[in-house]
Structure 1
Amino acid sequence: MTSTTSSIDAARVELLLTELRLPSVKAIWPKLAAQSDKEGWPAARFLAALAELEVADRGRRRIERHMVEARLPAGKTLASFDFDSVPMLSKAQVMALASGDVWLETGANLLLFGPPGGGKSHLSAAIGLALVENGWRVLFTRTTDLVQRLQTARRELALEAAIAKLDRYDLLILDDITYVSKDQAETSVLFELIATRYERRSLLITANQPFGEWGRIFPDQAMTLAAVDRLVHHATIIEMNVESYRRKAALGRKRGAGRPPVHATPEEVESSAD
């Protein structure tokens, strides 16, 4: 084969790979072809190497897209989560949840309870990040923001379509659900979301208040009971009743290098913020 013929064939390959939208193969095939010619690879080995590279690159780009759409807060990883500060939390259990294989496949839920500043949002975001890296689709949102979006959809007679669009996500992370108030118009959209995803798609919910305080979220007691029933039916519940990270940090700044007390008083917190 003459060099002219080889150049023509190479140009045809470039055009065809562009037409087929195979950018990874297009970028790597000349190098692999040279290696294949030099080492005398069988054609099947050469094609398999190209295919493996394309599959790997597509997987990487897919995860990058899913990472953007997940809207996870930056810097919240399992590696940076302080498990020692939450002694009642099983790290092994969290790592198992981060794989997502069992509970997401069955549409089960994960509920995190604890006072403000205890690490619930960090842990939920970190689990979400690990799940995206494992190939799952996740959306992190403040519950109040999502409720407002669904309220708008209801006013536009598009609530069903808006909830159906959320089905693309294997997991919805609803942060701070107890900040939603039934004084807001049409908060029943939150119940409709919970009911629609029941046993089909998973929810991860963080809450500052126990279920007994959820009567202020939904319009009536019957809806509250129905929502809680659907959430807990297939759920892992984790209680993180620990001192606030932010409270500890504030006391630490005030005391300098000294070790902060295990339990801070409201007076200490107030004075540390000055």
Structure 2
Amino acid sequence: MTLSYSRDPFCCFTTSQDLATFFDCHRQAFAHFAGVPLSIVYDRTKTVVRRHVAPGEAVPLHPEAVAFAGHYDYDIDVLAAYRPQGKGRVERQVNIVRDHVLAGRAFSSVEDLATLSFVEDKANVALLGPPGVGKTHLAVALAACRAGYSIYFTSLDDMVRHLKAAEDQGRLMSKLTSYLRPAVLVVDEVGYQPLERAEANLVFQVISKRYEKGSIILTSNKTFGEWGQVFGDEVLATAILDRLLHHCEVVSINGNSYHLKNRLQAIQRDTDVA
């Protein structure tokens, strides 16, 4: 959802396209914008329009969409196919999300990352995949290519724990500086343990203060659509993702766990010896 005048965008990451999820994303957008717009323009989406009609005919709307709009007191404006300017404004944000946020990079792009051009651009790198596929090793390897850049490595759990302790001791800003000063901050194991909202807010402060000022390399076993559960608050998770992914290389790593593979090989060797 994007506001017409300010062009302030809101993007909700989901793994479902059903009506319940569709309307839940609306609620999150209303919370993000701290209000409900007078009208919302829809690009003839099937969750709102029951069927397409000829120009000039009344557009039949889904009763669920009409009821939802009535509850929140906004008008439904269905974008006509002959309104190219309006269509372009709607689709522009979709293209930005599709091309720069959701498009995972092939693993071969790691060679490009090793040039560390993303550090010069103060951009970020997200390494996503199941446990044991080498995300941490890759993050360390990228940090090893540092070429004179300052690096700070931490797990998310350790970072939150140290920030909470500093906050309790009244020296939060001083501790935040240790995560803001380096050119590259490596945050490992995002998503392995769910956070409370207060803890997630500390993470937001780090991400927000480093936004366009320093690079972050993070590893996570969760998809971005699951980060609402990780950070205990969908709106806060969206705010974190908004700043993190604005300038970000996303590398999806798939495959079997090296840890499990090595363990199975050891068990097989023991069996063979026996």
Shift of 1:157: 2.6
Superposition RMSD in Å: 2.0
Q: Distance in 2 between matches of 1:185 and 1:162?
A: 16
Tell me if 1:186 matches 2:199.
yes
Q: Distance in 2 between matches of 1:202 and 1:119?
A: 20
Alignment partner of 2:268 out of 255, 259, 263: 255
Shift of 1:144: 0.3
1:95 maps to 111
Contact 2:191–2:221 under 8 Å retained in 1: yes
1:198 maps to 211
Alignment partner of 1:167 out of 173, 180, 198: 180
Contact 1:106–1:200 under 8 Å retained in 2: no
Shift of 1:164: 2.3
Q: Distance in 2 between matches of 1:169 and 1:210?
A: 27
1:118 maps to 133
SS of 1:103's equivalent? Answer: helix
Q: Distance in 2 between matches of 1:232 and 1:128?
A: 19
Q: Distance in 2 between matches of 1:172 and 1:235?
A: 14
Alignment partner of 1:130 out of 123, 145, 148: 145
Shift of 1:172: 0.7
Letter in 2 for 1:95: E
1:106 maps to 121
Contact 2:191–2:230 under 8 Å retained in 1: yes
Q: Distance in 2 between matches of 1:192 and 1:183?
A: 15
Letter in 2 for 1:126: A
Q: Distance in 1 between matches of 2:172 and 2:232?
A: 18
Structure in which a larger fraction of residues adopt helix? 1
1:227-249 alpha-carbon deviations (Å, 9 max, x no partner): 11111110000000111001211
Q: Distance in 2 between matches of 1:198 and 1:127?
A: 20
How many residue pairs were aligned? 166
Letter in 2 for 1:237: V
Moved more, 177-186 or 204-213: 177-186
Alignment partner of 1:212 out of 222, 225, 241: 225
Letter in 2 for 1:188: N
Contact 2:154–2:187 under 8 Å retained in 1: yes
Calculate the TM-score normalised by the size of structure 1: 0.57
Shift of 1:221: 1.3
SS of 2:204's equivalent? Answer: helix
1:41-120 mapped onto 2 (5 Å cutoff): 88-90=106-108, 93-100=109-116, 102-120=117-135
Contact 1:151–1:187 under 8 Å retained in 2: no
Shift of 1:202: 0.7
Shift of 1:105: 1.8
Calculate the TM-score normalised by the size of structure 2: 0.57
1:209-237 alpha-carbon deviations (Å, 9 max, x no partner): 10111112324211111111111110000
How high is the sequence identity, in percent, across the aligned residues? 34
- Runs of 5+ in structure 1 lacking a partner? 1-87, 258-270
Alignment partner of 2:252 out of 215, 218, 239: 239
Taking a change above 3 Å as real, the CA distance of residues 185 and 227 of structure 1, as seen in their structure-2 partners, is closer
SS of 1:238's equivalent? Answer: strand
Letter in 2 for 1:89: F
